[in-house]
């Protein structure tokens, strides 16, 4: 899974990555599903220990173009996990109140506390993506934000937050299919926004903005992973593998039980 990690300081050229590829996985689809099931079970145990230990904080950032599968990743990777101690924060266009503050204000309010896993469905990265592409702020404003984001994430990391950032990378053609599916399926039509087409018209600029964001903000303590996401099963597997490995690395210890419990019989 290391191959998906963006090395700090390295240039990122997304044209070199095939969103339809499944690097590192040669097995059958069925094996991937079985593996994901095992990872779901492991995550359930690890999350319970994380909550019990009450020490580390875990922040999972999900970014990607429209239809890249942010919602689907959340539901499949976290299937079976106890909602106690897990939270999703979704970031939409800022409200007038949020715009009256600095861009990290609303984000800081949502970061995980001890024992918690928080999943960001979109994030502060929108402020160097949509804000840049749609010219919501002048260049001198968004250009400063890479350093501001790095400083912010350094603070979170120094206060026991594990940060994992995933760019779910789909191809332009896969997006076309998924948007069309939304339009054609009455059950899914509510998800379609005309604004999605406007964003799609700026595809190349978004890719460039992603390349810069990935290159400038992948840090050892807050790495970016580029996940080929045309195949949903592969996307889920990669995110689950990386998350479980990061939690295993914490070597979580559940609290010591009270003394003298040996031989205690509950009547």
- Interface ranges with ligand ADP (CB under 6 A): 66, 91-94, 121-122, 126-127, 130-131, 136, 193
Q: DSSP for 166-181, please give it.
A: EEEE--HHHHHHHHHH
Nearer to ligand ADP, 7 or 193 (CB): 193
For 60, the token pair is 């999972």
Nearer to ligand ADP, 122 or 154 (CB): 122
Question: Helix crossing, 70-77 with 232-249: angle to 10°?
Answer: 60
Task: Please report how close the Cβ of residue 91 comes to ligand ADP at its closest, in angstroms.
Answer: 5
Q: Residue for token digits 């001890």?
A: 114
| Range 22-29 contact pairs with CB under 8 angstroms and sequence separation of 24 or more | 22/228, 22/231, 22/234, 23/228, 25/234, 25/237, 29/233
146: nearest Cα among 224, 201, 70: 224
Nearer to ligand ADP, 39 or 227 (CB): 227
Task: Please report how close the Cβ of residue 40 comes to ligand ADP at its closest, in angstroms.
Answer: 23
Nearer to ligand ADP, 22 or 68 (CB): 68
Q: Report how far residue 258's alpha carbon sits from residue 175's, in angstroms, rounded to the nearest whole number.
A: 54
Nearer to ligand ADP, 39 or 61 (CB): 61
Question: Which residue's Cβ lies closest to ligand ADP?
Answer: 126
Task: Please report how close the Cβ of residue 92 comes to ligand ADP at its closest, in angstroms.
Answer: 4
Q: Report how far residue 60's alpha carbon sits from residue 123's, in angstroms, rounded to the nearest whole number.
A: 10
231: nearest Cα among 89, 90, 14, 24: 24
Task: Please report how close the Cβ of residue 81 comes to ligand ADP at its closest, in angstroms.
Answer: 21
Nearer to ligand ADP, 195 or 255 (CB): 195
Q: Report how far residue 45's alpha carbon sits from residue 257's, in angstroms, rounded to the nearest whole number.
A: 18
Q: Which residues contact 169 (CB under 8 A, 6 or more apart)?
A: 14, 17, 19, 64, 68, 226, 227, 228, 229
Task: Please report how close the Cβ of residue 200 comes to ligand ADP at its closest, in angstroms.
Answer: 11
For 113, the token pair is 């506390």
Task: Please report how close the Cβ of residue 217 comes to ligand ADP at its closest, in angstroms.
Answer: 15
Task: Please report how close the Cβ of residue 71 comes to ligand ADP at its closest, in angstroms.
Answer: 6
Nearer to ligand ADP, 2 or 193 (CB): 193
């Amino acid at each position: 899974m290391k191959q998906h990690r963006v090395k700090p300081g390295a240039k990122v050229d997304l044209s070199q990555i095939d969103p339809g590829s499944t690097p590192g996985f040669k097995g059958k689809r069925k094996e991937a599903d079985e593996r994901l099931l095992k990872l779901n079970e492991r995550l359930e145990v690890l999350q319970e220990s994380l909550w019990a230990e009450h020490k580390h904080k875990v922040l999972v950032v999900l970014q990607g173009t429209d239809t890249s599968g942010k919602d689907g990743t959340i539901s499949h990777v976290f299937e079976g996990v106890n909602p106690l101690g897990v939270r999703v924060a979704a970031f939409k266009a800022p409200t007038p109140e949020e715009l009256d503050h600095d861009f990290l204000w609303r984000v800081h309010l949502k970061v995980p506390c001890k024992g918690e896993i928080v999943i960001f469905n979109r994030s502060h990265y929108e402020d160097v993506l949509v804000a840049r592409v749609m010219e919501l702020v002048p260049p001198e404003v968004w250009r400063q934000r890479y350093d501001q984001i790095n400083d912010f994430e350094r603070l979170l990391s120094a206060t026991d937050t594990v940060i994992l950032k995933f760019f779910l990378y789909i191809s332009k053609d896969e997006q076309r299919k998924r948007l069309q599916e939304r339009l054609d399926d009455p059950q899914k039509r509510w998800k379609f926004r005309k604004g999605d087409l406007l964003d799609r018209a700026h595809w190349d600029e978004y890719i460039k903005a992603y390349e810069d964001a990935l290159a400038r903000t992948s840090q050892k303590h807050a790495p970016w992973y580029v996940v080929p996401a045309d195949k949903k099963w592969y996307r889920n597997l990669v995110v689950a593998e990386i998350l479980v490995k990061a939690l295993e690395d914490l070597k979580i210890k559940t609290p010591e039980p009270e003394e003298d419990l040996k031989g205690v019989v509950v009547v």
